[in-house]
Amino acid sequence: MAHYQQKLQERSLKQSMLRKGNCLDNASMESFFGILNSECFHGKEFKSVDE
C-alpha cells in the first residue's frame, strides 16, 4: 500500500479516482477552485506557507 493510501485509511478517507479520458468528471471542482482563487487569493502576497 502506498504511503498516501495508508494516510487516507488512517483518517477514514476514501480515495476518489476520475475516469480516464473524461475531462468533464472534475468540472464542478475546477469551477469551485477557480472561484475560490479569484475571490479569496487573487492579488494577495503571502509571507509564509503557513499564511
pLDDT at position 26 is 79
* Length in residues, the chain: 51
Instruction: Return the pLDDT at 48.
Output: 82
pLDDT at 2: 86
Backbone angles phi, psi at 41, to 5 degrees: -120, -15
Asked if 40 and 46 count as a contact pair (C-beta separation under 8 A), the reply is no
Q: What is the pLDDT of residue 11?
A: 94
Task: Give the pLDDT score at 24.
Answer: 75
> First-to-last CA distance in the chain?
33
**Residues ≥6 apart with Cβ < 8 Å to 8:** 14, 15
Query: Block means of pLDDT (10 residues each) for the chain, length 51 residues?
Result: 88 82 78 87 78 73
